[in-house]
Amino acid sequence: MVQSAAKDVDGYLAEVPEARKEALARLRQLCRVELTGFDEVMAYGMPAYERDGTAEIAFASQKQYISFYLMRVDVREAFEERLSGQDMGKGCLRFRKPEAVDFDLVRDLLRAIARRPGEVC
């Protein structure tokens, strides 16, 4: 599944492969706990978290991996050392297997994002 037509995140999670449901539900729970004041929306066919109408985080079940989109440049730069050993594109952290999701790293990234607004790419 690259893009979903689901109307909300519950619908999105109902569509994902069974082997990824737990990891994606846990990502969602982390986002909901750590991103106080953000709105949970569906954007570009995936769950996203917006502050003042701007998405700063998203995640998705892609064909080959679970993706975690970190759209804040300042946070990526602040975590450069911790992200250096990860499979990462310009703004996408990729986890090839659900059990490989580094929830501690994700939590720390979410906390950094929640602290203050910043520029998104």
- What does each C-alpha distance from 43 to 38, 50, 75, 87, 104 come to in angstroms? 14, 10, 21, 23, 25
Task: Name the residue among 109, 121, 28, 108 with its Cα closest to residue 66.
Answer: 28
Asked if the model's pLDDT at residue 2 lies above 80, the reply is: no
* Rounded Cα distance, 4 and 118, in Å: 28
Q: First CA to last CA across the chain, in angstroms?
A: 24
Domain ranges of the chain: 9-115
Beta bridge partners of 66: 61, 95
Question: Which pTM value belongs to this model?
Answer: 0.93
For 9-115, CATH gives: 3.90.1150.200
Per-residue model confidence as pLDDT tens digits over 30-84: 999 999 999 999 999 999 999 999 999 999 999 999 999 999 999 999 999 999 9
